[in-house]
Amino acid sequence: DTAVSQTPKYLVTQMGNDKSIKCEQNLGHDTMYWYKQDSKKFLKIMFSYNNKELIINETVPNRFSPKSPDKAHLNLHINSLELGDSAVYFCASSQRSPGTETQYFGPGTRLLVL
């Protein structure tokens, strides 16, 4: 039973297309995240949602729109895909608790924009 799952695992698409990546967690956590790992392998936060409310938006282009229908799901929709969007996108979740920020990650979605 996977704790944090993402679909699809691989996504190859043309420039200009719109695509979505889905994330689900069954850990009962109240906070979910999207991270991007670029070609230089840096993992950087994009968004954070707590109880379906947007908490963090790290200067991500507005072509990226996260949607959280409930606490267990955080989807990422990307409009007008560009070559530079090619990366690995990781979803994560955590339980907001003072003194700890342990986040648990999904397997990643490898996006290639041609």
Partner 1 sequence: DQQVKQNSPSLSVQEGRISILNCDYTNSMFDYFLWYKKYPAEGPTFLISISSIKDKNEDGRFTVFLNKSAKHLSLHIVPSQPGDSAVYFCAASVEGAQKLVFGQGTRLTINP
What are the residues binding partner 1 (CB under 8 A)?
A: 4, 31, 33, 40-45, 48, 50, 55-56, 58, 90, 92, 94, 96, 98-108, 110
**Closest alpha carbon to 25 in 4, 1, 8:** 4
Shortest CB 88 distance to partner 1, Å: 9
Select 14 or 40, whichever has its Cβ closest to partner 1: 40
**Closest alpha carbon to 106 in 82, 74, 77:** 74
Give me 59's structure tokens.
């200067």
Shortest CB 16 distance to partner 1, Å: 27
Residue with tokens 């938006």: 57
R_g over Cα of the chain: 13
Select 14 or 99, whichever has its Cβ closest to partner 1: 99
Shortest CB 67 distance to partner 1, Å: 18
Select 17 or 86, whichever has its Cβ closest to partner 1: 86
Residue 28 CA to residue 10 CA, distance in Å, equals: 26
Shortest CB 69 distance to partner 1, Å: 20
- Per DSSP, the three-state class of 83 is helix
Select 64 or 108, whichever has its Cβ closest to partner 1: 108
